[in-house]
């Protein structure tokens, strides 16, 4: 049977590198086993989901080279969820509750303060039909919880009820349904939380494997219970570790984690993002691969570690740098044009080893064009620079000029090493380091170089 997997982001923010890890794992799984990869937009939260975020998810995936076989939107399937809710209600699997979010929080805190697990006590189940009618008549709105099948006779006497699955990544998992609260499936305003639509879609779309972050492990227990009461086949589950930032905090769309869009705009290479997102936090070493199919060939889900992985943006810079240093002028010409930095092939060849991200090219374009803040020099250095300008004016302008000129300067001034090269580099480029001066000099040209040495 060919597998069906999905990547199911909520369009409530921009994708970050942790989301891409999930997308890639699913995409690779689908490719490897000749299955289907569905992009499912979990947009049931009407307030926070936006069209712009959906569009940016599509753009990000396209930029990385992840092409879904189909795209589904939960907002277009609400009537299907309504039907399932009616079915669950008629079988007594849902019950109405009236606590406000503040009251729920208070109940939780009270239990925690008493050293008890913060599990909802099902008190709404005790409300009589008459009281329900009164509450509704008073204009109270109810939300709906799923009565977890964790009891034999009385729901007020839950019993240990283990949900077991053999996780594709974490191995055997057991979660006791008596250790979690009945999940809220429907909000007061009738909109759906993620739990039920996800299961309904997974069933209707024939999902065979669900690969997602380990933050969903507890949801999985409640969702398997839903698969069961809906008499559906249970897909295989795999929960990968999460990526955390340098302070150990998880990436979160809500908190505005560094987005893929920002990485793209800042000129990081897509394969640097994918290679890092995929291989960090595994026992495989993080190499940069040229394309997704190479990365997919080396990737092995068995090698994903259990603990979360710290992602350092500096590493992304290093990987991007490696890729950039291998790209030819033909590969990048259109990007150079788009960033108004196309100064020709020799410009690209001389600056590419110095680029961490593509947009660094702009800085070097400005250096060549003389758009930088001139440095301030001591009198001694000003004299040296003047003398070097004088010597340079006599030089023949060919590809060996830098070597001939600096050899001559060495002899004539007695300077060498840093004291010879640093003032020249600083005066000509405004920088302390950068591409080889021999090639920069040719790009800048004789007249401009002399003017810079004379601090004009
Ligand atoms: N919309 C959910 C999320 O973004 C999907 C989780 C899942 O893959 O089931 O976390």
Instruction: Note the pLDDT of residue 33.
Output: 95
C-alpha dist (Å) from residue 346 to 19, 32, 145, 350, 450: 38, 41, 66, 6, 21
**Residue 254 confidence (pLDDT) above 70:** no
Instruction: Note the pLDDT of residue 288.
Output: 92
In the CATH hierarchy, which fold is given to the domain comprising 80-168+174-179? 3.90.800
Q: Which atom of ligand 1 is nearest to the CA of 219?
A: 9
Q: Specify whether the CB–CB gap between 386 and 453 falls below 8 A.
A: yes
Mark out the alpha helices in 339-436 (DSSP H runs).
345-351, 360-369, 379-393, 401-413, 417-429
Q: Which atom of ligand 1 is nearest to the CA of 9?
A: 4
Residues with CB under 6 A from ligand 1: 8-10, 42, 194, 198, 212, 216
* pLDDT tens, position by position, 308-322: 999 988 899 899 999
Instruction: Note the pLDDT of residue 314.
Output: 87
Instruction: Note the pLDDT of residue 8.
Output: 98
Would you kindly state where each structural domain of the chain is located, as residue ranges? 4-73+191-242, 80-168+174-179, 379-453
Q: Specify whether the CB–CB gap between 433 and 351 falls below 8 A.
A: no
Instruction: Note the pLDDT of residue 269.
Output: 94
Does domain 4-73+191-242 fall under CATH 3.40.50.150? My reply is no
Q: What is the mean pLDDT of residues 331-353?
A: 96
pTM confidence score: 0.85
Q: How far, in Å, from the CA of 419 to the mean position of ligand 1? A: 59
Q: How does the average pLDDT of the chain come out, rounded?
A: 95
Q: How far, in Å, from the CA of 50 to the mean position of ligand 1? A: 16
Q: How confident is the model at residue 13 (pLDDT cuts 50, 70, 90)?
A: very high
Query: Looking at the domain that runs over 379-453, which CATH code has it been given?
Result: 1.10.10.350
Report the 10 Å Cβ neighbour count for 410: 14
- Round to whole Å and give the CA distance between 285 and 269: 19
Dihedral (CA of 335, 337, 341, 343) sign: positive
Mutate to test the pocket of ligand 1, among 12, 42, 72 (most ligand atoms within 8 A of CB): 42
**Residue 249 confidence (pLDDT) above 90:** no
């Amino acid at each position: 049977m060919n597998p069906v997997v999905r990547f199911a982001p909520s369009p409530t923010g921009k994708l970050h590198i942790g989301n891409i890890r999930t997308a890639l794992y699913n995409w690779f799984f689908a490719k490897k086993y000749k299955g289907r990869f569905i992009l499912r937009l979990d947009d049931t939260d009407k307030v926070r989901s936006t069209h712009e975020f959906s569009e940016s998810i599509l753009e990000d995936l396209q930029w990385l080279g992840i092409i879904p076989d189909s795209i589904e939107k939960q907002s277009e399937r609400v009537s299907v969820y309504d039907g399932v809710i009616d079915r669950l209600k008629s079988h007594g699997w849902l019950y109405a509750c009236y606590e406000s979010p503040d009251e729920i929080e208070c109940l939780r805190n009270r239990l925690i303060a008493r050293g008890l697990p913060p599990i909802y006590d099902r008190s709404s189940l005790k409300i009589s039909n008459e009281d329900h009618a009164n509450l509704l008549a008073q204009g109270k709105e109810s939300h709906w919880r799923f009565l977890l099948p964790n009891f034999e006779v009385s729901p007020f006497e839950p019993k240990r009820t283990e949900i077991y699955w053999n996780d594709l990544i974490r191995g055997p998992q057991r979660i006791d349904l008596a250790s979690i609260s009945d999940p809220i499936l429907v909000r007061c305003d009738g909109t759906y939380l993620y739990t039920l639509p996800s299961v309904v879609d997974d069933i209707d779309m024939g999902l065979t494997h669900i690969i997602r972050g380990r933050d969903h492990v507890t949801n999985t227990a409640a969702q398997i219970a839903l698969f069961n009461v809906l008499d559906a086949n249970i897909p295989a589950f795999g929960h990968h570790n999460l990526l955390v930032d340098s302070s150990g905090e998880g990436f979160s769309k809500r908190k505005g984690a560094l987005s893929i869009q920002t990485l793209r705009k800042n000129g990081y290479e897509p394969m640097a993002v994918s290679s890092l997102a995929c291989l960090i936090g595994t026992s495989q070493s993080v190499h940069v691969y040229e394309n997704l199919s190479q990365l997919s060939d080396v990737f092995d889900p068995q090698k994903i570690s259990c603990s979360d992985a710290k992602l350092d943006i500096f590493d992304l810079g290093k990987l991007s740098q490696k890729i950039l240093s291998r790209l030819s002028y033909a590969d990048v010409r259109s990007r150079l044009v788009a960033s108004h930095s196309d100064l020709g092939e020799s410009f690209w060849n001389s600056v590419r080893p110095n680029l961490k991200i593509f947009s660094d090219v702009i800085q070097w374009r400005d250096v060549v064009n003389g758009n930088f803040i001139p440095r301030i020099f001591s009198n001694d250095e000003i004299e040296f620079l003047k003398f070097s300008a004088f010597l340079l004016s006599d030089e023949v302008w060919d590809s060996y000029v830098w070597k001939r000129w600096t050899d001559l300067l060495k002899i004539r001034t007695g300077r060498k090493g840093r004291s010879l090269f640093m003032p020249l580099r600083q005066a000509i480029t405004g920088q302390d380091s950068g591409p080889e001066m021999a090639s920069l000099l040719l790009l800048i040209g004789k007249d401009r170089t002399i003017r810079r040495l004379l601090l004009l």
